């Protein structure tokens, strides 16, 4: 009864719903912005349209998005999303990242070693069930345990009933919980990849900029039971592609935004979190670059990660620049104040929800003192060491009841966990040694020799000695060995003398202790307080704001449109003319050199064909590879980046009139290249029927 009366209060209170800003939001498919679409773009999709788009959208668990483009499992994504797999199938002799790839027949397609792809088959609101499992008067810790238990149960029931990968996902900082059921594909094969030099033309310099000239494209094919998957939901390929002022949508899995954070949380990011993240990534990048300079083969091994860290650092810099802008930060403070002020008008709600901000603020007060330990107490810089840590952790967790394990070891997630752990992807011990040594050097420098993690990891040796011993002595490179350890159980792990397992075992108590701190002092508080703030927001504004991104499927929308920059105009698209201009203007000096195919094939191209374009949809990292579609759900482009004006949109939506844009490869440009440069009539036929 009390709940109902509050609900009444809530709905009588929806007075000051803010007008949703143009093209804002990465929307879940249960709550698409139908009103905005209708009003602004006269677009009113049917449920069938929405279902089709959802079922044609693919999440790549390497961290990106894609879309089916034929009924036979063929899907498209970015070269930079698939690059990890391309590297894993490459060798010193055959470098698919560099040379690109095209399988003229299905028999030529190459299996990706450890790529899992998901399609969101169904979803169900379980908020009531999760939230009501928390007993009245429960502490934050008890509440967390109670939520965990019910979530584990929901996931297990769903998995048992449907066989689908079932995850309960939190939205709005715990304001809602949804059961997401994904169809999982783990047999993915590579059909086509553009050469990195054209996929990433302009390199890190041009990354996050526009005008842009990248054919950042890969085609993959999902298989089931050894046969191309049947995918009746797919996007028809538009030959014409995006045109100026056109309404378009992007369907994909944006990784993470932080727009609903409190001012205290944002201030922490600005003062501590981001600078520390920068230190971590810079240290890892430096190690990789050092290694990459040892020779061509070393460069090949490291280049994917170098590209990725450069990308992360450039993005982080843009995000932090945003946080450091007084004007932008003041906006967040004003937003928070406005919500609190509205709340203050309703004593019932005020009493329930208002303390939440202070709770978070207090919790974060203790975080800076622990931040460096939390950031550096891990072995993630090395794949072998990560495997060791995971095996050690698995052996301890698997003994516990399902609902008491760390999230990632719940029954519903074990298949995916093992798929990754037992990947046959190559491991390069020399690279591992360099990166892990550099990581522990940085940790030692940052935390000091007496830090528990450092002491446990080094065990009296120098980083170089400890790492050399572990990397050179470990058998974890061997997948069968990993498997035997997994199957041997806790006892086998405890007794193992594999030096990397020993290192993993030694640091595990420290990592667990820090994880416990983080869960108890931060995450549990955030979950409880976040739920309150979320309810306060719903009460005041309704569900008019999209939840923060969390690498689940979303739909964004906007217009194909250029913008002003400095004093001039940036056009909505580039053409192949622009590609050759930029290459020529830099005298083809890397990263502005062209693959031979492009140099020799220039005269075959219609150079006026669009190559890249920009549009105003609200996207973020994870949207890489998102199909950009028109109102008929035809694929008119392939999202691959954002411009620099948009980078701080992790923390807030940036209006399109500030020049923030998503960047996509144009569907006509892809076809033109496939037809004229890659001699790929089979692929073109599968895409267009011609």
For a copy of itself, the binding residues (CB under 8 A) are: 202, 205-209, 211, 244, 314, 562, 566-569, 571-575, 577-578, 580-582, 584-587, 592, 607-608, 644
Q: What is the CA 299 to chain-centroid distance, rounded?
A: 25
Min dist CB 602 to a copy of itself, Å, is 9
Q: How many CB atoms lie within 10 A of CB 234?
A: 22
Q: For residues 202 and 254, which CB has a smaller minimum distance to a copy of itself in the complex? A: 202
Q: How many CB atoms lie within 10 A of CB 363?
A: 21
Q: For residues 66 and 578, which CB has a smaller minimum distance to a copy of itself in the complex? A: 578
CB-based contacts of 39, cutoff 8 Å, min separation 6: none
Q: What is the CA 436 to chain-centroid distance, rounded?
A: 24
Residue with tokens 């999982």: 184
Q: For residues 394 and 592, which CB has a smaller minimum distance to a copy of itself in the complex? A: 592
Give the three-state DSSP class for 74. Answer: strand
Measured CA to CA, the distance from residue 94 to residue 92 in angstroms comes to: 6
Enter the tokens of residue 27. Answer: 């929307």
Q: For residues 8 and 324, which CB has a smaller minimum distance to a copy of itself in the complex? A: 324
Q: For residues 207 and 377, which CB has a smaller minimum distance to a copy of itself in the complex? A: 207
Min dist CB 561 to a copy of itself, Å, is 12
Enter the tokens of residue 476. Answer: 């974890």
Q: How many CB atoms lie within 10 A of CB 376?
A: 23
Measured CA to CA, the distance from residue 141 to residue 143 in angstroms comes to: 5
Q: For residues 622 and 659, which CB has a smaller minimum distance to a copy of itself in the complex? A: 659
Min dist CB 317 to a copy of itself, Å, is 8
Give the three-state DSSP class for 119. Answer: strand
Q: For residues 48 and 603, which CB has a smaller minimum distance to a copy of itself in the complex? A: 603
Q: For residues 49 and 577, which CB has a smaller minimum distance to a copy of itself in the complex? A: 577
Min dist CB 672 to a copy of itself, Å, is 13
Angle ∠(69,221,121) on CA atoms, nearest 5: 70
Min dist CB 83 to a copy of itself, Å, is 21
471, 433 Cβ separation under 8 angstroms: yes
For residue 528, CA distances in Å to 172, 356, 454, 503 come to: 12, 8, 33, 36
Measured CA to CA, the distance from residue 329 to residue 276 in angstroms comes to: 20
Min dist CB 313 to a copy of itself, Å, is 11
Min dist CB 269 to a copy of itself, Å, is 21
Min dist CB 243 to a copy of itself, Å, is 9
Min dist CB 606 to a copy of itself, Å, is 11
Q: For residues 136 and 608, which CB has a smaller minimum distance to a copy of itself in the complex? A: 608
Q: For residues 613 and 651, which CB has a smaller minimum distance to a copy of itself in the complex? A: 613
Measured CA to CA, the distance from residue 150 to residue 154 in angstroms comes to: 6
Q: What is the DSSP letter of 404?
A: G
Residue with tokens 């842009």: 212
Min dist CB 316 to a copy of itself, Å, is 12
For residue 261, CA distances in Å to 268, 344, 516, 543 come to: 10, 20, 22, 16
Upstream peptide bond of 178 is cis (omega within 30 degrees of 0): no
Min dist CB 594 to a copy of itself, Å, is 12
Q: For residues 54 and 666, which CB has a smaller minimum distance to a copy of itself in the complex? A: 666
Q: For residues 236 and 602, which CB has a smaller minimum distance to a copy of itself in the complex? A: 602
Min dist CB 77 to a copy of itself, Å, is 24
Measured CA to CA, the distance from residue 357 to residue 536 in angstroms comes to: 11
* H-helix or E-strand spanning residue 222: strand 218-224
DSSP string, 256-280: ---TT--HHHHHHIIIIIHHHHHHH
Min dist CB 642 to a copy of itself, Å, is 13
What angle do helix axes 429-447 and 296-323 make, rounded to 10 degrees?
Answer: 40
For residue 419, CA distances in Å to 5, 183, 413, 423 come to: 49, 15, 10, 6
Q: For residues 578 and 622, which CB has a smaller minimum distance to a copy of itself in the complex? A: 578
Enter the tokens of residue 15. Answer: 């007075």
Task: Provide the strand spans (E) within 600-690.
Answer: 610-615, 627-629, 634-642, 662-666
Cross-strand bridge partners of residue 438: none
């Amino acid at each position: 009864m009390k709940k109902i009366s509050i609900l009444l209060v809530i709905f009588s209170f929806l007075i000051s719903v803010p007008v949703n800003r143009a093209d804002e939001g990465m929307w879940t498919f249960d709550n698409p912005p139908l009103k905005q679409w209708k009003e602004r773009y006269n677009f009113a999709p049917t449920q069938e349209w929405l279902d089709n788009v959802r079922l044609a959208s693919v999440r790549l668990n390497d961290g990106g998005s894609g879309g089916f483009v034929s009924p036979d499992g063929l899907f498209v994504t970015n070269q930079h999303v698939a690059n990890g797999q391309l590297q894993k199938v490459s060798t010193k002799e055959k470098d698919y990242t560099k040379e690109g790839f095209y399988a003229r027949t299905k028999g030529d397609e190459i299996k990706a070693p450890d790529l899992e792809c998901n399609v969101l088959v169904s979803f169900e609101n379980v908020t009531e069930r999760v939230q009501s499992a928390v007993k009245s008067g429960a502490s934050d810790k008890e509440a967390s345990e109670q939520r965990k238990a019910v979530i584990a149960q929901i996931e297990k029931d769903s998995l048992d009933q449907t066989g689908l990968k079932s995850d309960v996902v939190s939205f709005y900082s715990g304001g809602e919980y949804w059961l997401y059921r994904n169809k999982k594909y783990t047999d993915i094969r590579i059909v086509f990849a553009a050469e990195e030099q054209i996929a990433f033309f302009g390199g890190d310099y041009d990354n996050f900029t526009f005008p842009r000239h990248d054919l950042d494209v890969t085609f993959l094919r999902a298989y089931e039971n050894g046969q191309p998957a049947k995918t009746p939901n797919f996007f028809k390929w538009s030959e014409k592609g995006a045109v100026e002022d056109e309404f378009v949508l992007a369907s994909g899995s944006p990784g993470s935004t932080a727009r609903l954070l409190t001012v205290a949380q944002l201030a922490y990011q600005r003062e501590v979190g981001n600078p520390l993240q920068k230190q971590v990534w810079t240290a890892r990048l430096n190690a990789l670059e050092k290694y990459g300079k040892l020779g061509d083969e070393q460069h090949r091994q490291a280049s994917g990660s170098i590209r990725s860290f450069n990308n992360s650092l450039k993005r982080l810099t843009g995000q932090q620049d945003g946080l450091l802008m007084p004007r932008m930060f003041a906006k967040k403070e004003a937003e928070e104040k406005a919500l609190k002020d509205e709340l203050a008008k309703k004593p019932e709600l005020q009493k329930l929800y208002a303390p939440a901000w202070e709770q978070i603020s207090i919790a974060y007060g203790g975080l800076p003192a622990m931040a460096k330990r939390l950031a550096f107490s891990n072995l993630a810089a090395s794949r072998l060491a990560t495997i060791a840590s995971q095996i050690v952790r698995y052996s301890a967790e698997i003994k516990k009841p399902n609902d008491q394990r760390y999230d990632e070891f719940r029954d519903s997630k074990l298949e995916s966990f093992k798929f990754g752990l037992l990947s046959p992807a190559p491991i390069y011990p020399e690279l591992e040694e360099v990166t892990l040594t550099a990581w522990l050097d940085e940790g030692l420098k940052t935390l000091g020799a007496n830090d528990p993690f450092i002491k446990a990891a080094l065990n009296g040796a120098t980083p170089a000695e400890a790492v050399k011993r572990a990397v050179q002595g470990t058998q974890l490179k061997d997948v069968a060995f990993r498997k035997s350890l997994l199957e041997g159980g806790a006892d086998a792990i405890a007794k193992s003398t594999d030096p990397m397992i020993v290192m993993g075992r030694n640091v595990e108590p420290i990592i667990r202790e820090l994880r416990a701190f983080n869960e108890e002092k931060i995450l549990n508080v955030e979950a409880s307080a976040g739920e309150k703030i979320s309810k306060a927001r719903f009460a005041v504004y309704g569900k008019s704001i999209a939840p923060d991104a969390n690498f689940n499927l979303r739909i964004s929308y906007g217009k194909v449109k250029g913008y002003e920059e400095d004093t001039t105009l940036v056009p909505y698209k580039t053409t192949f003319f622009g590609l050759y201009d930029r290459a020529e203007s830099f005298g083809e000096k890397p990263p502005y050199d062209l693959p031979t195919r492009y140099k020799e094939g220039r005269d075959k191209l219609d150079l006026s064909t669009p190559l890249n374009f920009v549009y105003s949809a609200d996207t973020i990292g994870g949207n890489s590879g998102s199909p950009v579609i028109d109102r008929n759900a035809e694929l008119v482009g392939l999202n691959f980046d954002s411009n620099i004006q948009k980078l701080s949109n992790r923390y807030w939506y940036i209006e399109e009139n500030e020049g923030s844009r998503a960047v996509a490869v144009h569907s006509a440009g892809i076809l033109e290249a496939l037809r004229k440069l890659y001699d790929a009539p089979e692929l073109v036929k599968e895409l267009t029927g011609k």
